[in-house]
Amino acid sequence: MFTGSIVALVTPMDEKGNVSRSCL
């Protein structure tokens, strides 16, 4: 789905693949 890919691109992630909470 487009939403999932877009969110994955816009959401910064750390090297482990987890969403960076510092940005949230």
Identify the helix (H) or strand (E) that includes residue 3: helix 2-10
Q: What is the pLDDT of residue 2?
A: 67
Query: Cα angle vertex 1, ends 16, 23, to 5°?
Result: 40
Q: How do residues 1-24 score in pLDDT, each as one tens digit?
A: 567 676 666 666 666 666 655 544
What's residue 12's pLDDT? 67
- Output the CA–CA distances (angstroms, integers) from residue 14 to 1, 10, in the order listed: 22, 13
Residues 6 or more apart in contact with residue 20 via CB below 8 angstroms: 11, 12, 13, 14
